[in-house]
A and B are shown apart, each in its own frame.
Chain A
């Protein structure tokens, strides 16, 4: 009878165990042909990259910051290593930390988040949790990562379930093309998206969030070793129902004000994801801040 029970009990457990090794593998990412999954944690793969400005943050930064625009304005080479929201919520600044370990220190680190993401715990049920766990489990110290993830076991099981389904669906498919594999590298890290232009403000009831001072203080700790930190909020369309709330809440906490840009600068795909025109506005906003700091530093230096 014990022999009968063995496959029943061990089968599912083996599936979990093997999943922890198979799902985060490069093979799965490449065969998924999913541009984001293939480029997951791109910033952490860079070595000896010369990025004088590093942009980190959530998907609003990943989609919206065009490094070419910033470089053109400031003369400083710029890399966008931002990730989707789930990556920043579950893994915090791990990608940035890995980047800093493997590359020369940048002059500026620009953190850019949607206003809601200044309170990461409130947004836990948002996007890309699967990718976040997949990346984490692919990092060294797997057991420690697993321990961290199992604080919220539902995410872990959903990752395994969804991951194995992807593997089965994609078993016979070809690997991703070089265009997909190098997508972020070809754009200096920006992940531009093509989606219809937004015409009306969203009416999604998002979870309530109160920006966390402690969390922002944590970002400012990178203000060391000659690096200057800017903590910014992504601009919102003037009709956004949360605009007034976040203007008040983020005032004094971040380095820009919660600015507004026209609604036709945004796409309908995702929260505050800008289109190409919006990316120019957003990147110029960051470039202006950097230039301001640079002139401030040089003035200080002159004295």
Chain B
């Protein structure tokens, strides 16, 4: 069931909210049971057979959790943690990588048989990662062991089940405690619904409307001229941002309707002035996950080896070439290599990851070798940094979206003019594949205007949590043309958002799946 579907908006969501409120008088167990059942129904509505997989995964990890945490010996805990992580990753590998990998070998003549890919269970990466984090936190005694009911809500709670945000046990579990979890609160309902509508608008009115252009371009990259290649690639950059950040806004809004708070997942990433900052603002919970569970352990391992060898692990040591390679470049590249593989079983995803690893390494080098206040910093204006950063991301997104590396390389060649100017945008032969609900994409002028509007929103307007006044207190607002645009529960906002909601609903049937569902 998609958040952007009539069934979800008009049937599932009201029913789950009403049920939650009605059961609130029966206390915490009733509320947790309701949330758990509603979430399982939400998941099973897509494909009931994979519900068994989800439940089995929850039960398996719940049993593993009993072997970890307080009262267990260190050695036993380490052993069980390795077994648990292996089992979780084994499940992920089976569904996500095994058959594409075997077919890759088949295509290259290594094996003779080809295989039919198994259908990827929705959200398998997300619920696997969430549970691994729980087990590691238990092992490190950061998290407390939970009963089956709160644990199943932690894993399955429908706003984050399919595509995140990736939640830490320490973020959600305390909110499910006795006394904290209770019925609906009207102020949270108002805020959550407003947040949801804003996210839905990003998805349906923007992402889904520009998506057809990137779809036709990436389906036929060899037929595109330079203008089509640029406009299609920019359309994809906008589609991906508005699709995924819209989804995340909806998830945060839905959770807030139940008075539960999720961590932010996007914070104006295209306003970033460097790639490090970009990853601090893009898919933030994944970045955090990678940082805590991949980058940091790798860095600790590297530092341990250096210390064993009598080498320093200080900031000053990382400013030497040898220190930089081992303490910065190696952990960053390894982490992003794995992040690339996580996104999919294709070489293009691996290139995407490695490319970002290189970007990050260069950015770290810039920071280390030209520290704050360096004369270079004063000479480069911020807008230039923002545009440069965006272009770097755009190059990586061409790999991310292309069917293979060859198509991506060809398209980048077209964008850089290697293949000449090529046919004009209006002559791209596949524009007739654009549906009626995005017909403005068949003319150059209207396409440029549409993309300009997208750029205006991402570069000149505050983001959703800034508008809703939900940014962290210690965080300064990013520069925008409307810094005072702040949501208030007033009649103007109410009628404005209600109108937007109705307009969006008119286009729900022309909406597509969320891009991150495939991961």
Q: Which residues of A contact B (CB under 8 A)?
A: 1-13, 15-16, 153-154, 156-158, 160-162, 164-165, 168
How many B residues have CB within 8 A of the partner chain?
Answer: 30
Interface SS, B side: helix
Complex interface residues of chain B between 467 and 519 (CB less than 8 A to chain A): 489-491, 493-495, 497-499, 501-502, 505-510
Instruction: Name which of A9, A153, A161, A165 has the most chain B CB atoms within 10 A of its CB.
Output: A161
Q: Bound complex: CA of A280 vs CA of B114, how far in Å?
A: 50
Given A4-B490, A11-B498, A12-B505, 12 other A-B contacts at CB below 8 A? A5-B186, A5-B190, A5-B494, A8-B190, A8-B494, A8-B497, A8-B501, A13-B10, A15-B502, A154-B7, A158-B6, A161-B506
Select B509's contact among A2, A162, A168, beta carbons within 8 Å: A162
B273 CB to nearest chain A CB (Å): 37
CB-nearest residue of chain B to A16: B10
- 19 CB < 8 A contacts A-B: A1-B489, A4-B490, A4-B491, A5-B494, A9-B193, A12-B10, A12-B501, A12-B502, A15-B505, A16-B10, A153-B6, A154-B5, A157-B7, A158-B509, A161-B505, A161-B509, A164-B506, A165-B506, A165-B507
Assess whether A154 is in contact with B494, with CB atoms less than 8 Å apart.
Answer: no
Q: A1-B187, A154-B5, A157-B6 are in contact. Are A11 and B501 (CB under 8 A)?
A: yes
Tell me, yes or no, whether B194 is within 8 Å of chain A by CB: yes
Residues on A with C-beta less than 8 A from B509 are 157-158, 161-162
Q: Which residues of B contact A (CB under 8 A)?
A: 5-7, 9-11, 186-187, 189-190, 193-194, 197, 489-491, 493-495, 497-499, 501-502, 505-510
Q: A15-B505, A162-B509 are in contact. Are A5 and B5 (CB under 8 A)?
A: no
Residues on B with C-beta less than 8 A from A168 are 506
Q: Bound complex: CA of A11 vs CA of B491, how far in Å?
A: 13
Q: Bound complex: CA of A153 vs CA of B11, how far in Å?
A: 9
Residues on B with C-beta less than 8 A from A164 are 506
B340 CB to nearest chain A CB (Å): 34
Q: Bound complex: CA of A10 vs CA of B501, how far in Å?
A: 11
Select A8's contact among B6, B7, B10, B197, beta carbons within 8 Å: B197
Assess whether A161 is in contact with B508, with CB atoms less than 8 Å apart.
Answer: yes
Q: Bound complex: CA of A13 vs CA of B498, how far in Å?
A: 11
Instruction: Name which of B10, B187, B193, B197 has the most chain A CB atoms within 10 A of its CB.
Output: B10
Residues on B with C-beta less than 8 A from A5 are 186, 189-190, 193, 494
Q: Bound complex: CA of A162 vs CA of B509, how far in Å?
A: 7
A175 CB to nearest chain B CB (Å): 22
Q: A5-B186, A8-B193, A8-B194 are in contact. Are A157 and B490 (CB under 8 A)?
A: no
Residues on A with C-beta less than 8 A from B506 are 161, 164-165, 168
Closest 6 CB pairs of A and B: A157-B6, A11-B498, A7-B498, A4-B489, A158-B509, A161-B509
